[in-house]
Structure 1
Amino acid sequence: MASPQSDIDAEGAALQPVRLHRFAIDGLFGRSPIAIDFPPAAELASEPSILILSGQNGSGKTTILKMLAGATSMNFDTFRAVPFRNAILEFSNGEVLQVERTSNEDRPLRISFGGKEAFLAKDKRQPNVYSPREQLAIDAVREQTKRVLKHISFQFLDTTRSTFDQRETFDIDSVVQVSPGRYSVKHQGRGKELEPLADKVREFMREAQVNYRKFFQAENLELLPRILQRFKTDKVVAKPEQLLSRVKAIAARIPEMKRLGLQTDDVDIETLTDLLISGEFTSDEHSLALLETYVETQTNKQSSRELIAHRLLEFEKIMDEFLVAKTVRVDARLGLKIETDQLQNLRESELSSGEYHFLLMMVAALLCRRSGSIIAIDEPELSLHVGWQRKVVGALARCAAGASPLFIFATHSMAISAEHRDRTKSLSAID
């Protein structure tokens, strides 16, 4: 999303989802042209795509990530700050966003998209910096970009510059239950803290239950067409014992779902179980068909919960594989709960720098949307043991289960680039 200081707001309607196709920049720091081709969508809709930018310190990796973050949010501060001649961002639908450096000191940038162009001021924060005509031109470009940028969510993780002191916190005692499985922060305060990463996980748990399609590829869970097709074809209804087996399978998963903060239909499941055991409504085909439809509905709801649960459980499993003498668990009330092997609770800020940076990256992967998510990470290897470096890319891909984000890594870690040579773009050093 664009920031409040953005030149152009990227919100709005889009004709169709698009992906990044190519980024080309000429004259960055006075050097030769650089062209980066983004990987196409993975063959499986639920698999992420990966691009690794490798190079020495000063090769422009971080600057390129910041330019991409700015271009996809229509905030051109990075373009204002660095020397370059021309930059072109191509999208998968063939449209192009172009940014050029001009010779006008007051209007140093020219942006164009979809046949519209505008000139941007050196300092957009000055009052009345744009004339009405200039503002109209900026608005026209903004309207054009809405069609392709609405479904692109670019998150830039700058692990090299993150500090524990910057972490906003909330009072755990202010976290109150507003409905079953849903919690809210009542007020900010001091004392025991619900920290930002935990709060993000808690919000994901809430939002994914409201609209799981935002986060998961799951077209096979469309319920109504299956029910209509079943009645249309006069398919023989299931036997009572088959329906009871399905209901018991759902009931067996209820404790795990509750632990993960997912809502369950306990009363409905208990009622279905009693009805199927008693046989009161299973004697004729019509009653059994109605029960089957209701069981189908509950099965479908359970399947959507299982998508969320699978990603959360995979997150926990990966954290167990990496951390030593510590566990990270999803918590219904707090979002995340971190403990030592002596069951001592830890704050996020009490993790080592490497542990925290790893958790930061994993939470970003956990929260990614089903499509359109771009997670760019600068120096993912920071503070990580070389053994962790070799496994971090695969771990992030696993944690994004059921979605197809694009991961972009800027690194000079040979351990990372060597593990993924076919996905690595090498950048020449900038002297």
Structure 2
Amino acid sequence: MRVLGLEVEGLFGLWDHRFELDRDEHVTIIYGRNGVGKTTLLRLVQAFIDRNWWYVADTRFDRLSVVSDDNRRLCVRRSRFDQVPDADRQSCIELTLSFEESDNVLERDIIRLDPPPSLVEEITELAESSGLQLRREGPIHWVDPANGRVWFYGDILAELGAWEITYPHRDAADRPWLADAVGGLRAHYLGPDRVLGASPWYHDKPERVRSFRTAEGWASEIRERLVSARAAYAKHAQELDATFPSRVLEAMSATTARPASLSALLDLMDGVNRRRNRLAEVGLLEATTSDLAGDLSWVQSDAGALALLNVYLSDALDKLDCVADLDAALSGLVEQVNERLIRSRLAIDRDRGLSIVNQAGVRIPPGRLSSGEQHMLVMMAELYLRAQPGDLLLIDEPELSQHVEWQKAFVEHLIGHAQALRFDAIVATHSPDIVQGHRALLRGLGESPETDSDA
């Protein structure tokens, strides 16, 4: 499923937004004045695609539609509290899911969410300990009798700082049609909290999410990936080594195959050794030395030796290909980050994951970089190590703490990477430097491009 359009009705009870995504550049920029719901829309889309119904229910909207590349719509309608029977107002909230094509409803289902008593008790205790006397009036909303303010679940967690209280993540109902409609689509929200490690909804896995959202966490993640890559390389090497003798004998007995020349094989060996050494430097492989030395001219006249060497080098390339994708991703990350760092250099480190050293030779922990450098590092890590073909990236305020020159280059770089990897991105921004030269990608929320003064 490729997302080509988004529609939301009744956001905050005020806004209706509809826009198409850019199909060619793979990047769409949304903008609008504060309060039109850019951040909320991105988070809502993420929660919907991930089927996080509690977060969806905690967002104030009437209907959200995700338009796919086959012109079908995946929709969720949220019942307003005055539409839920009085007897159910404190026990459930209703979400109606549908899969639609033109005017035909292909599939439909209703989710009635009933918060567990333990969650209600935790929220009540949290409010009381903060000096609030809130009265529960709905499944996920409370009212302050003193001023009439409505507090939703997410409001309480955000303002009272109790992210350890967890959302029930998914309902247990099996909906094969929904899984089929979403397909392999994955959505990633990259918000202003990416440096702090907070997450808008995955509170049931705080350690995992935190490691994905901070510079220090990405260093740990890369270290883990290096360990996994070495293990995968070793496993594949064992599999090839187990059949190596039989394949060599088969190659030696072949009468039609013409073995490569010794010169070509030695050139190939030189390239293999260079790749091995470079991969060992970044911790993707164990350090090794070449096992071929001395005068090998005699091999040219020995067809059997040429056949053996040919199989050996073919296996060596096959093994190296096992870590090629991670190698390319890490190389791209290092290149892009180093283009932006001043008087410091980033490198991949076997033991630390990431190593940053300034011109004075001082090692800088990723968490001690400037705020802007951390935002940039995390953003690039998400682009090069998280994004996969077919994904939808939801990037909120990429301009935060970023130098103007970085902002100006951001969209052009994002377009190139998105087109190469075949993912789509929606960028929410207020920065004119982010959007300059890319007005064709702009989608205004709440107002037209001609009247907006913020973008």
Using structure 1 for the length normalisation, give the TM-score. Answer: 0.70
8 Å CA contact retained: 2:30, 2:443: yes
- 2:37 corresponds, among 19, 40, 60, to 60
Aligned residue in 2 for 1:175: none
8 Å CA contact retained: 1:318, 1:395: no
CA 39–323 in structure 1, closer or farther in 2 if over 3 Å, else same: same
RMSD: 3.7
Aligned residue in 1 for 2:259: 237
Q: Render the CA deviation track for 1:1-53: whole Å, top value 9, x for unaligned.
A: xxxxxxxxxxxxxxxxx3223221122233453223234477xxxxxx32221
What is the 5 A alignment of 1:1-400? 18-31=1-14, 33-40=16-23, 49-93=26-70, 95-102=72-79, 103-104=83-84, 105=89, 106-113=92-99, 115-121=107-113, 123-126=114-117, 142-149=175-182, 151-159=184-192, 161-162=193-194, 164=196, 195-207=216-228, 234=256, 236-263=258-285, 266=288, 270-271=290-291, 273-274=292-293, 277-278=295-296, 282-303=300-321, 305-396=323-414
Aligned residue in 1 for 2:426: 408
CA 402–209 in structure 1, closer or farther in 2 if over 3 Å, else same: farther
Percent of counterpart pairs with the same letter? 25
Who wins on radius of gyration, i.e. which is larger?
2
Aligned residue in 1 for 2:203: none
CA–CA distance in structure 2, aligned partners of residues 80 and 357 of structure 1: 30
CA–CA distance in structure 1, aligned partners of residues 228 and 422 of structure 2: 18
1:127, distance to aligned residue in structure 2 (A): 6.7
8 Å CA contact retained: 2:330, 2:385: no
Q: Render the CA deviation track for 1:342-400: whole Å, top value 9, x for unaligned.
A: 12122233222111111111111121254233322210001112111111234456677
Q: Render the CA deviation track for 1:287-338: whole Å, top value 9, x for unaligned.
A: 4234323312222433554543333233222222212122222111111012
CA–CA distance in structure 1, aligned partners of residues 94 and 254 of structure 2: 65
Q: Render the CA deviation track for 1:236-282: whole Å, top value 9, x for unaligned.
A: 32101110111012212333211211115836xx33x349x535655
8 Å CA contact retained: 2:346, 2:357: yes
Equivalent AA in structure 2 for residue 53 of structure 1: I
What is the 5 A alignment of 1:409-424? 409-424=427-442
Equivalent AA in structure 1 for residue 59 of structure 2: V
The DSSP-based 3-state class of the residue aligned with 1:33 is strand
1:163, distance to aligned residue in structure 2 (A): 5.5
| Greater relative CO (CA pairs within 8 A, separation 6+) | 1
CA 32–400 in structure 1, closer or farther in 2 if over 3 Å, else same: closer
Structure 1 unaligned blocks of 5 or more: 1-17, 43-48, 131-137, 168-193, 213-226
8 Å CA contact retained: 2:44, 2:59: no
1:414, distance to aligned residue in structure 2 (A): 1.1
8 Å CA contact retained: 1:368, 1:405: no
Equivalent AA in structure 1 for residue 19 of structure 2: I
8 Å CA contact retained: 1:101, 1:108: yes
CA 128–33 in structure 1, closer or farther in 2 if over 3 Å, else same: closer
CA 79–140 in structure 1, closer or farther in 2 if over 3 Å, else same: closer
8 Å CA contact retained: 2:348, 2:355: yes
8 Å CA contact retained: 1:258, 1:264: yes
8 Å CA contact retained: 1:368, 1:400: no
The DSSP-based 3-state class of the residue aligned with 2:425 is strand
8 Å CA contact retained: 2:11, 2:61: yes
Equivalent AA in structure 2 for residue 112 of structure 1: S
Equivalent AA in structure 1 for residue 32 of structure 2: G
Using structure 2 for the length normalisation, give the TM-score. Answer: 0.67
1:95, distance to aligned residue in structure 2 (A): 4.9
CA–CA distance in structure 1, aligned partners of residues 380 and 259 of structure 2: 44
Q: Render the CA deviation track for 1:191-219: whole Å, top value 9, x for unaligned.
A: xxx9312012223334556679xxxxxxx
The DSSP-based 3-state class of the residue aligned with 2:301 is coil
The DSSP-based 3-state class of the residue aligned with 2:12 is helix
CA–CA distance in structure 1, aligned partners of residues 389 and 418 of structure 2: 11
Equivalent AA in structure 2 for residue 51 of structure 1: T
The DSSP-based 3-state class of the residue aligned with 1:367 is helix
Equivalent AA in structure 2 for residue 299 of structure 1: L
CA 80–22 in structure 1, closer or farther in 2 if over 3 Å, else same: same
1:68, distance to aligned residue in structure 2 (A): 0.9
CA–CA distance in structure 2, aligned partners of residues 141 and 111 of structure 1: 13
